[in-house]
Amino acid sequence: MDAVGLQPDDTGVELDVRKRLGDFRLATSLAIPARGVTALFGASGSGKTSLLRLIAGLDRPDAGTIRIGGDILTDTARGHFVPPHRRGLGVVFQEARLFPHYRVRGNLTYGMRAAGRRCFDDIVALLGLDNLLARFPATLSGGEARRVAIGRALLTEPRLLLLDEPLTGLDEARKREMLRYIGRLVREVDIPVAYVSHEPGEIAAVADRLVLIENGGVLAQGPLDELLARFDLTPHLGGFDAVSVLAATVERHETDYALTDLALADGQRLTVPAVDEPAGTTLRLRVPVRDVALALSDPAATSYRNRLHATIERIGEIGTGSAVELRLRVGGQALRARLTRKSLAEMDLREGMPVVALIRTVAFDMRL
């Protein structure tokens, strides 16, 4: 896990700021822990990018403080402001912003420090930049440019990596490829990441924590799985509500059938379409709500390869429509299911009941 030896410090970012931008008011208080990926999620214009610019020191807040670790970056009350070039943060902008007059190598080494020099080759390999080093940015594709920008920021040994919608404008295949690179990066380089995005798919694939931003304020923040499982946030979580995220570890590959066996934290097994990752890798599986069926006991023969023992934790509001949402607890993780009101009544399901969740193997959508 520490193939690339960058050493971040232990406390993350604590931010409490207010800023007026025309008619828009930003009033935000949030924390980004020193480990893992924290997603800043919100619609376009919710203030995500403004926040990122404040953290990077490219803008000053009207009032408030921003700290990283023990260091104060911005403190308006005391007139304290650390300029961007002394903040030690790595920023990857929406547009890669590579320097057109430097080759890729020159871009990568522009802000490189001593420790960055030691891991130059590792980062180049990690991001697949070996063949690009002698090229000029104008000749790179969108995905390549984005990867160079990430490498360039990493080589400055930042205390925090800020990614601003790093997949914008890429086609689907490139997006998946970039997500793989970013996933590898957060697994192999121990660096906290703040990931700004309005795409639930991206966030489910890479983030551990979620900060939900709406109209310049923070609506909720916490572990991703917990927030996704909260019914009260469903209306604010746009495209998220249709999936649950399960973390599982690769156990072995059934190459004959092109399947991979995974283990959940509580020891239960899952089988998914073959994944190109070595045993021991932790994956995040996105399970669409509509692909989870429930049974009261373990069915003897069924084409559902995945049968997870679970407990009904919460039954969502029963309206007059045909569907009801349920939240199950599988080991320590939350899994959401949607069934018809009629099934709920016929099976006489209640909160606290043990059930078996059936998930079709082909239902898994997973890129990491």
Partner 1 sequence: MLSDAEWQAILISLRVAGTAVGWILVPGVLLAWLMARKEFRGKALLEGLLHLPLVLPPVVVGYLLLISLGRQGWLGQWLDRWLGISLPFTWQGAAVAGGVMAFPLLVRAVRLSLEAVDPGLEAAAATLGASRRRVWLTITLPLALPGLLTGTVLAFARALSEFGATITFAANIPGETRTLPLALYTMLQTPGGEAAAARLCAVSVAIAMLAILVSEALARRARRRLQGRDA
The distance of closest approach from Cβ of residue 177 to partner 1 in the complex, given in angstroms and rounded to an integer, is: 22
Residues 140-179 binding partner 1 (CB under 8 A) are 152-153, 156
Task: Based on the shown chain and the rule CB under 8 A, indicate whether residue 9 belongs to the binding site for partner 1.
Answer: no
Residues 30 to 59 in contact with partner 1, rule: CB under 8 A = 56-58
Least distance CB 153 / partner 1 (angstroms):
7
Among 6, 73, 93, 221, binds partner 1 (CB under 8 A): 93
Q: State yes or no: residue 342 binds partner 1 (CB under 8 A).
A: no
* Residue choice 99, 257, 322, 340 for contact with partner 1 (CB under 8 A): 99
In three-state form (DSSP H/G/I as H, E/B as E, the rest C), the secondary structure along the chain is CCCECCCCCCCCEEEEEEEEECCEEEEEEEEECCCCEEEEECCCCCCHHHHHHHHHCCCCCCEEEEEECCEEEEECCCCEECCHHHCCEEEECCCCCCCCCCCHHHHHHCCCCHHHHHCHHHHHHHCCCHHHCCCCHHHCCHHHHHHHHHHHHHCCCCCEEEEECCCCCCCHHHHHHHHHHHHHHHHHECCCEEEEECCHHHHHHHCCEEEEEECCEEEEEEEHHHHHHCHHHHHHCHHHHHEEEEEEEEEEEEHHHCEEEEECCCCCEEEEECCCCCCCCEEEEEEEHHHEEEECCCCCCCCCCEEEEEEEEEECCCCCCCEEEEEEEECCEEEEEEEEHHHHHHHCCCCCCEEEEEECHHHCECCC
Q: How far is the CB of 78 from partner 1 (least distance, A)?
A: 23
Q: Which of 47, 61, 137, 143 binds partner 1 (CB under 8 A)?
A: 137
Residue 87 Cβ, how far from partner 1 at the closest point, in Å? Answer: 8
> Which one, 162 or 358, has the nearer CB to partner 1?
162
181 binds partner 1 (CB under 8 A): no
Q: Is 111 in the site for partner 1 (CB under 8 A)?
A: yes
> Which stretch, 84-92, 124-132, 226-234, 248-256, contacts partner 1 (CB under 8 A)?
84-92
When asked if residue 195 is in the footprint of partner 1 (CB under 8 A), the reply is: no
Residues in contact with partner 1 by CB under 8 A are: 56-58, 83-91, 93, 95, 97, 99-101, 110-111, 113, 135-139, 152-153, 156
